[in-house]
Amino acid sequence: MKVGLVLEGGGMRGMFTAGALDVLMENNIMVDGIVGVSAGALFGANLYSNQKGRVIRYSKRYAKDKRYISLRNLVLTGNAVSKRFAYYKVQKIYDPFDNETFKRVNKPFWAVATNIKTGKPTYLEIKDAFKDIEKLRATSALPLSSRIIKVDGNKYMDGAFSDALPINFMKKKGYDKLIVILTQPIKYRKKQMAPKKLKMIRFKYQRYKNFLKAIDSWPKRYNQVVEKIIDMENKKEIFVIRPHKKIWTQLIERDTEKLQSFYDMGVEDTNKIINDLKEYLDIV
């Protein structure tokens, strides 16, 4: 039996995911492969590095630090989240990611990115979190707040626009059982982004017609997969962990109490169903 883990993105809603993953670590639940989208990939790597509590720790520590994420960074560098500080200094110096443990696990880990020329998803495999840091940046590069990320000659942005919930990818990879961690409650359905923001995106990325088509069709495709997930969940084909209520947050969230509450929700909601998860996985 191969167990796969699918991690939705969602910016700072990912604190819910961080809490859920910490509960998996507490219960010694390991998987055979992970695919993450955006923040799901960034935070999900800590499962393989076995660093319980790390995501909420550094997220709270640097939430108000303008070197980490700020409009100033966006103006000066084109990236709201600092490449040098957030992706390099924090990961290697200030709150080190255990890359050696991550590599020793030696199990597949993919980050979904959207190829902006084709509008299609690319599943970038992460084998070394430091050497492959640009792949992790690619999966979380949001339009208007990030530069386009180049990896192996291709141009990428956030993976959510092409495959926000990559359950089909994991099924095709041969995973018999799937754990899916969502960052939206069961009744959530995606709507098209605000007209003003969409107009700005259309202007800035007008060269990339397929990328814009992917953005236009994003809500419909997302909602179709949500319905599929619910159906599979009812048939006991997958196991879903999701927040019991809507998480309201900003792109740049500096309220550490909010971050903690999102994380706590992930811990509490997962603890409530942890025995059901063990039963699904046939863990005695």
Q: What residue ranges of the chain have pLDDT lower than 50?
A: none
In 3D space, the residue among 158, 110, 109 whose CA is nearest the CA of residue 138 turns out to be: 158
Q: pLDDT of 248-275, one tens digit each?
A: 987 778 899 999 999 999 999 999 999 9
Q: Is the Cβ–Cβ distance between 191 and 219 less than 8 Å?
A: yes
3-state secondary structure at position 245: coil
The alpha carbon of 241 is separated from its chain's Cα centroid by a whole number of angstroms, namely 14
Residue 252 confidence (pLDDT): 74
DSSP count for the chain of H helices, then E strands: 11, 8
- Report the pLDDT value the prediction gives residue 72, as an integer from 0 to 100: 86
pLDDT at residue 237, rounded to an integer: 96
Which two structure tokens, joined as six digits, stand for 272? Answer: 């409530």
End-to-end Cα separation, the chain, in angstroms: 15
CA distances from 12 to 6, 42, 60, 106, 205 (A): 17, 11, 11, 28, 25
Distance CA 133, CA 229 (A): 30
CA dihedral 71, 73, 77, 79 (to 10 degrees): -70
The pLDDT, as a whole number, for residue 249 is: 86
Is residue 111 packed enough to be buried (19+ CB in 10 Å), middle (13-18) or exposed (0-12)?
buried
Question: Three-state DSSP class for 151?
Answer: strand
pLDDT at 70: 84
Tokens of 208: 């990339």
Q: Is 259 exposed, middle or buried (0-12, 13-18, 19+ CB in 10 A)?
A: buried
CB–CB of 107/32 below 8 Å? yes
Q: What angle do CA 240, 241, 244 make, to 5 degrees?
A: 120
For the whole model, what pTM was predicted? 0.96
